[in-house]
A = this chain, B = another copy of it.
């Protein structure tokens, strides 16, 4: 087996360029031309893989880059005035994190690996300079950030209007569809985060999350085996996610 082939088979391999990356359709604009991709590729840094629990960046640190997840998953969190943590997002392969740091030139979140993972570092100053020459790259980042705003607004709505069951169901559906976008199973996957993380993210206690999982399982809507989730009845899960 050649080194090249070996590279392609290792999920945390960091030698693959954007042009070869299966995730580029998610994290890079489709409109960017082949030779432009090489220019983008030129500014991207690929570091060693992160182990579970390692920080990618910390709140308060100088902001210099945004990051695209290549493999594995991470959570972002802030510390509230009262000192407890608030998880602000879970990030799966192809997704871009750290956009919130741009506005204050410091990271407002910390990012922690939920499992072994690899990320692409995109130095922001170089990206903005390059995007003055590649309008579609500029456009892409405007869109990324705008979508992030919309996503946060939907999260606000979820927390503001929905019950515990609806929130948990919505999160499962969100992970499901994000998996499907990567051509993975939308009905069978492993949760890389703990019940506590889920509760923290959704504004619920661990106990409530656990109870909802049990209830959804009893209703044969999902099948739970530790962190493995199977969505047994997708339609039922969708109804569970939104009142009526």
Which of A's residues lie within 8 Å of B, judged by CB? 78, 80-82, 84, 86, 88, 99-104, 108-109, 128-129, 131-132, 135, 138-139, 141-150, 152-153, 155-157, 159-161, 200, 202-203, 242-244
21 A-B residue pairs with Cβ-Cβ distance under 8 Å, sorted by A, are A80-B161, A81-B242, A82-B242, A84-B161, A86-B156, A86-B160, A88-B153, A99-B145, A100-B150, A108-B153, A128-B135, A128-B138, A128-B142, A129-B135, A145-B145, A145-B146, A149-B149, A155-B156, A156-B156, A160-B200, A160-B203
Q: Is the interface of A mostly helix, strand, loop or mixed?
A: helix
Chain B residues positioned under 8 Å from A142 (CB to CB): 102-103, 128, 141-142, 145
Chain B residues positioned under 8 Å from A108 (CB to CB): 150, 153
Chain B residues positioned under 8 Å from A129 (CB to CB): 135
Can you name the residue of chain B whose Cβ is closest to the Cβ of A83?
Answer: B244
Given A138-B138, A161-B86, check contact A102 B242 (CB 8 Å): no
Q: How many copies does the complex hold?
A: 2
Chain B residues positioned under 8 Å from A160 (CB to CB): 86, 159, 200, 202-203
A100 to B146, CA, bound (A): 5
A146 to B159, CA, bound (A): 21
A101 to chain B, nearest CB (A): 7
Cβ contact within 8 Å between A138 and B131: yes
Chain B residues positioned under 8 Å from A141 (CB to CB): 142
Point out the residue from B145, B146, B152 that lies within 8 Å of A153, measured CB to CB: B152
Can you name the residue of chain B whose Cβ is closest to the Cβ of A129?
Answer: B135
Point out the residue from B81, B139, B144 that lies within 8 Å of A128, measured CB to CB: B139
A37 to B166, CA, bound (A): 48
Q: Please indicate which of the listed interface residues A86, A88, A157, A203 has the most CB atoms of chain B within 10 Å of its own CB.
A: A157
A141 to B156, CA, bound (A): 23
Chain B residues positioned under 8 Å from A132 (CB to CB): 132, 135, 138
A177 to chain B, nearest CB (A): 15
Chain B residues positioned under 8 Å from A84 (CB to CB): 161
A244 to B81, CA, bound (A): 9
A141 to B242, CA, bound (A): 34
Chain B residues positioned under 8 Å from A161 (CB to CB): 80, 82, 84, 86, 203
Can you name the residue of chain B whose Cβ is closest to the Cβ of A143?
Answer: B103
